[in-house]
């Protein structure tokens, strides 16, 4: 299996960091924009899209700042995805920073997927 490549993306979002954190850290928040449905049992989150489901373990979370998940299918791999809230100290602009991994020939597709997901998030937040 090929090694995956780490990539990062930044999206400016017009919303308060505390509100944004609810949408990236809770099953109800994530099901508004990230997946059709999200359930959690402890640290394991179940993401459901069009009848298919993936499970991810919540590795770390820092209140108001970031969440990091690891897909259970990648449990023995160093891969994860992180959604981080960053506030520019000068302009106070709020950004969502994405860190994820994809195989080399799938990076563009993965970035497009995140762009669409964050677009959905912005609509939910009313900042589109």
What tokens were used for 37?
A: 């449905």
Phi, psi of 105 (to 5 degrees): -80, 0
What are the pLDDT digits (tens) for 92-109?
999 999 999 999 999 999
What tokens were used for 42?
A: 């402890």
Mean pLDDT confidence for 107-124: 97
What are the pLDDT digits (tens) for 1-58?
578 999 999 999 999 999 999 999 999 999 999 999 999 999 999 999 998 999 999 9
Cα end-to-end span (Å), the chain: 38
Whether the per-residue pLDDT at 61 is higher than 60: the answer is yes
* Amino acid 51: pLDDT: 83
Query: Can you spell out the DSSP letters for 78-90?
Result: S--EEEEEEE-TT
Residue 106 CB partners (closer than 8 Å, separation 6+): none
């Amino acid at each position: 299996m090929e090694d995956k490549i780490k990539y990062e993306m930044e999206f400016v979002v017009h919303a308060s960091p505390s509100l944004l954190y609810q949408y990236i850290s809770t099953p109800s928040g994530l099901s508004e924009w990230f997946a059709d449905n999200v359930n959690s049992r402890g640290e394991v989150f179940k993401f459901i899209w069009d009848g298919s489901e993936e499970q991810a373990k919540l590795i770390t979370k820092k209140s108001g700042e970031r969440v990091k998940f690891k897909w259970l299918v990648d449990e023995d791999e160093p891969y994860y995805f992180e959604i981080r809230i960053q506030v520019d100290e000068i302009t106070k602009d709020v950004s969502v920073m994405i860190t994820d991994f994809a195989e080399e020939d799938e990076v563009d597709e993965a970035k497009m997927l995140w762009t669409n997901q964050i677009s959905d998030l912005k609509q939910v937040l009313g900042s589109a």
